[in-house]
Amino acid sequence: MPKATIDDVAELAGVSIKTVSRVFNREPNVRESTRDKVQRAISELNYQPNKAAQNLAGHRSRLIVLIYDDPSAYEIPSAGFIIRMQEGALRACRTANYELLIHPCRYRIKDVAKEMKALIEQVRPDGIVLAAPLSNVRKIVTAIEETDTPLVRVSPGKTNGKLFSVATNDREVCAEMTRFLASLGHKKIAFIMGHPEHKAVGNRFLGYKDGLEQSGLSFSEDLVASGDNSILSGEACAATLLKRKDRPTAIFAANDDMAAGVIRVADRLNIEVPGQLSVAGCDDIALAQQIYPALTTINQPLAAMADQAVMLLIDSARKSRTTQETAVVPATLKVRESTGPAPKD
Amino acid sequence: MPKATIDDVAELAGVSIKTVSRVFNREPNVRESTRDKVQRAISELNYQPNKAAQNLAGHRSRLIVLIYDDPSAYEIPSAGFIIRMQEGALRACRTANYELLIHPCRYRIKDVAKEMKALIEQVRPDGIVLAAPLSNVRKIVTAIEETDTPLVRVSPGKTNGKLFSVATNDREVCAEMTRFLASLGHKKIAFIMGHPEHKAVGNRFLGYKDGLEQSGLSFSEDLVASGDNSILSGEACAATLLKRKDRPTAIFAANDDMAAGVIRVADRLNIEVPGQLSVAGCDDIALAQQIYPALTTINQPLAAMADQAVMLLIDSARKSRTTQETAVVPATLKVRESTGPAPKD
DNA sequence: GGCCGACTAGACAGCGCTGTCATAAACAGG
DNA sequence: CCTGTTTATGACAGCGCTGTCTAGTCGGCC
C-alpha cells in the first residue's frame, strides 16, 4: 500500500486538502462536523504528513539539532555527559513531536564555521542546542547566529554573552555545599580549584567563598589548591593540603575526579574518610558512586537543562523570539558517604 | 542575505537549474567548462541545497535513523553501548554526507508499531539501524519492514531471520578466549552462562565448548554455572564453583559484570587473581578497566558494527537491494591482568 | 553530403504540503 | 429583507529541488 497523501484524505472525507491541513494542524475555523469527518478519514487511511513537504511549504522542519564536542563525547568518562543531554533533549522533542538530529563537531578544525552553516542550511532545523564546551566557542556561535537559526547554549557554568542559554546555579550550589560542610562542624574547609580554562571554575570558587562567608568562616589562601581536573592533580593537591600540620577536616574539590584523587591520597595516608576527613566533589559522574566511600557531590541536571533548552527553542518559534534570557536549572547536593561530622579533637 | 537557491546559482552561471543540479549531484554528461562555471557560481553564492526539497523531489532523505531501547540507553552501565553505536553510525553518516536521527524507543508499550510507522512515514529515512535488543523484537521489525524502508539490525549476538544484519563472531571469539586460557596451561576452565533471554548467551556457551574441544579438553557440566548477567549472580556462581574441592583454575564468564562478581568472591576467599585463578569476561564494558585486577575480556566492536550497518544501508540504496546478508564484524580479545598461567600444584 | 548515435543542455511537470486570497455560508442588526 | 460582519471552505500558487523527456550539437561513417 502506497503511503496516503493529503489528497487521499481530502477525497475520502469529501473536503479540500486545505481543510485536511487545517484539521491536522489544529487550526481554527473548522466546523466540528467537518473536523470529525476528516479525523475519521485520517485514521482510516493512517495518514502521516510528509515532513519534507511540510518543511518545504511551511518553512519549519520540526527538527532540533544537538551539537556537541566530537571526540570528547566518545571518551568513556564523558559519555555520560552527552547521553544525559540527549536524554533531556529527546524528552522535550518527543512531547512536542519534534525529531532530534545529533551532530558531533570537532571545533578545532578550520572549517567548523562552514560545516555548521552547511548543516544548518541543508537541514533547516527549527532550533539548535549547543552543548558545552562548544557553547563558548565563538566561531561556532557566530556561524550559527549568522544563519538566523534559534540557538540555545547549554553549559553547566555560566555562559557569557547575551544569547539564549541555560545554565546551572553553580555558584549558589557550591555555596550550599560549603555551608553543608560547615554545618557538619567543619571549620577548616579546603577547596581544590579546577582547570582555569573551564568556565565553571571561577563560579565554583566564588561559591565556595560565598559559603564560607555565609557560615561565618573566614577564607584563607592556604586552604586553596589548584589542580587541572584530573585525578592525578587531585592527588597532588590533596597531598599538599593534608601534609600541613593544621590540616583541613574537609576538602571540597571542583570536580569529582579530583575528589576521587583526594580519597585515594587519604587512603594512602591512612586518613579515614569520612571519619577524619570529609570529601566532596562536583558533577556527580558515574565514578562518584563507584568509589569507596561513595562520593558526596553536586548533581548536574544535564538532562533537565537540555530539556529546558529544547523547550525554549520550540517556544521561541511559537511566540516571536522574546527578550534574550538565560534559564537556570538548579543543581542539587548528592550527599553520600564521603562526608560526615567534623572530627572532635 | 537570504539563502541562495538553485535558481540563483543557475542565473549566475548562466545555465538552467537542471544543469546546476547535475553538477551538484555529480551526474555525467556535463561539459568540463560548464561544470567549472557552475562550480564557481556555487562557491560564490555558498549554495547549499535544501534537503527538504531534495527529499520531496528526489524521494531520498539522506537521513538514517538509529533506533534503540529507551530506558536502558540512559542507565549508566549501558550508556557506553549506545554511545559506541552512535559513534560508528555517525562516522559512516559523515563520510557519506548523511545525517543521523536518533530515536529511543520503549518497546514494551502497546503502540510501538504505530509509533515506528509514524516516524518512518513522516521523516522517510533512507535507512534504519535497529540496535539490540530491539533488533529481535518481532513487532518492531515487522512494523519497519512493512514500510519498505531498508533495515539493518545490529546485535552482538546472532540475529535470527534472514534480514540484513550485522553481528559479531561471538561463538568464534569465545572459542578463542577458551583456547587462550587453555594455552596458559589451564585444564579446568569453568564457564558462567548469562541470562537465557539474551540472544548472545547460547553462542557464547557454544563457543566455550568449541574452545575446549579445540584445545583437547573435555567438557564437564560441573564446570558450568548459570547466572543472570548481574554482578551478584556472578558472585553466587563463583561461590559455587570455587567451593568445590577440585576447583577450576580459570573462570570464563559470559559477561563482564559476572566476571567482576567472580573477582569479588575470589578476593573474599583469598584466592589470588590471576595467581591462583584466571578470570575472563565478555563485552569490555568500562568497568572492566576500572576493577582490580583489570579484566581480560572480549571487546565488542560496537562502533564498527554500527558503521558497517549504515554503510550497508547506504550501499543498498545505491545498488538495488542485493541478496539478504549478514555482515560479521570480528570481536577481539583484550588481554589484561586478570588472566595468567595456570598455577602449578 | 546525409544519416546515426553519443553528448550536452534545457523545459517542464510535479513531489506533498502550507500560505494567501477569494468565495460561500451563516449570522447579526436595523 | 437587506447590508455588514464573521466564520467556514476551497482554489491555487509555489516552497526548491529532481526526474523525464525533448531538442540541439557534434563528430563519425557510409
A84/B50 Cβ within 8 A: no
Residue-wise pLDDT for B73-129, tens only, equals: 777 767 888 999 999 999 999 999 899 999 999 988 888 999 999 999 999 999 999
The answer on A244 and A97 residing in a single domain is no
The answer on B140 and B190 residing in a single domain is no
A82/B80 Cβ within 8 A: no
A25 touches strand C (CB under 7 A): yes
- Where is average pLDDT lowest: A285-294, B4-13, B217-226, B278-287? A285-294
B122 touches strand C (CB under 7 A): no
Residue-wise pLDDT for A182-195, tens only, equals: 999 999 999 999 87
A138 touches strand C (CB under 7 A): no
B202 and chain A: CB distance < 8 Å anywhere? no
The answer on A141 and A70 residing in a single domain is yes
Q: What is the mean pLDDT of residues B165-178?
A: 93
The answer on A175 and A68 residing in a single domain is no
Q: Is residue B288 part of a domain?
A: yes
Residues in chain A where the model's pLDDT stays below 50: none
pLDDT at position B161 is 61
Using the CA of A18, which nucleotide's C1' is the nearest one?
D10
The answer on A176 and A89 residing in a single domain is no
The answer on A161 and A279 residing in a single domain is no
Give the per-residue SS3 of chain A: CCCCCHHHHHHHHCCCHHHHHHHHCCCCCCCHHHHHHHHHHHHHHCCCCCHHHHHHHHCCCCEEEEEEEHHHHHCHHHHHHHHHHHHHHHHHHHHHCCEEEEEEECCCCCCHHHHHHHHHHHHCCCEEEEECCHHHCHHHHHHHHHCCCCEEEECCCCCCCCCCEEEECHHHHHHHHHHHHHHCCCCCEEEEECCCCCHHHHHHHHHHHHHHHHCCCCCCHHHEEECCCCHHHHHHHHHHHHHCCCCCCEEEECCHHHHHHHHHHHHHCCCCCCCCCEEECCECCHHHHHCCCCCEEEECCHHHHHHHHHHHHHHHHHCCCCCCCEEEECCEEECCCCCCCCCCC
| 3-class DSSP state of B133 | coil
The answer on B131 and B192 residing in a single domain is no
pLDDT at position B132 is 83
Q: Is residue A219 part of a domain?
A: yes
Which alpha helices (DSSP H) does chain B contain, by range? 6-13, 17-24, 32-45, 51-58, 70-74, 76-96, 112-123, 138-146, 170-183, 199-214, 231-243, 256-268, 286-290, 302-318
The answer on B152 and B98 residing in a single domain is yes
A109 and chain B: CB distance < 8 Å anywhere? no
Q: What is the CATH number of the domain that holds A233?
A: 3.40.50.2300
Q: Is residue B239 part of a domain?
A: yes
Q: Is residue A334 part of a domain?
A: no
DSSP B2: P
Q: Is residue A341 part of a domain?
A: no
A228 and chain B: CB distance < 8 Å anywhere? no
Residue-wise pLDDT for A206-265, tens only, equals: 999 999 999 999 999 999 999 998 899 999 999 999 998 889 999 999 999 999 999 999
CA distance B75 to chain A (A): 9
pLDDT at position A131 is 92
Q: Is residue B18 part of a domain?
A: yes
CA distance B209 to chain A (A): 33
Minimum-distance CB partner of B51 among A48, A123, A290: A123
CA distance A1 to chain B (A): 9
pLDDT at position A188 is 95
Q: Is residue A56 part of a domain?
A: no
pLDDT at position B173 is 95
Residue in B263, B237, B268 with CA at minimum distance from that of residue B339 = B263
pLDDT exceeds cutoff 60 at B320: no
pLDDT at position B325 is 74
pLDDT exceeds cutoff 60 at B321: no
Q: Give the distance from CA B214 to its chain's centroid.
A: 28
CA angle A310, A314, A320 (to 5 degrees): 135
A83/B79 Cβ within 8 A: yes
Minimum-distance CB partner of B99 among A48, A90, A123: A123
Count CA atoms closer than 13 A to A19's CA, side-chain side: 21
Q: Are the beta carbons of A316 and A155 closer than 8 angstroms?
A: no
The answer on B269 and B229 residing in a single domain is yes
pLDDT exceeds cutoff 90 at B3: no
Q: Minimal Cα distance from B61: which residue of A? A: A52
**Number of structural domains found in chain B:** 3
The answer on B204 and B133 residing in a single domain is no
Percent of chain B with pLDDT over 90: 68
B83/A102 Cβ within 8 A: no
| 3-class DSSP state of B82 | helix
| 3-class DSSP state of B323 | coil
The answer on B42 and B101 residing in a single domain is no
Write the CA distances from B69 to B10, B72, B108, B257, integer angstroms.
46, 6, 10, 20
Containing structural domain, residue A225: 170-300
- Where is average pLDDT lowest: A119-133, A227-241, B194-208, B318-332? B318-332
Q: What is the mean pLDDT of residues B314-335?
A: 76
Residue type at B73 in one-letter notation: A
Classify residue B59 as left (phi > 0), alpha (psi -120 to 50) or beta.
left
A86/B102 Cβ within 8 A: yes
Residue at shortest CA–C1' distance from D12: A18
pLDDT exceeds cutoff 70 at B56: yes
pLDDT exceeds cutoff 70 at B317: no
pLDDT at position A78 is 74
Residue at shortest CA–C1' distance from C19: A58
Q: What is the CATH number of the domain that holds B33?
A: 1.10.260.40
Q: Is residue B340 part of a domain?
A: no
The answer on A259 and A188 residing in a single domain is yes
Mean pLDDT of chain B: 89
pLDDT exceeds cutoff 80 at B163: no
Name chain B contacts of A74, Cβ cutoff 8 Å: 83-84, 87
Residues close to nucleic acid strand D (C-beta < 7 A): A 14-19, 22, 28-31, 33-34, 53, 56-57; B 3, 5-7, 17-18, 21, 24-25, 47-50, 53-54, 56-60
A49/B52 Cβ within 8 A: no
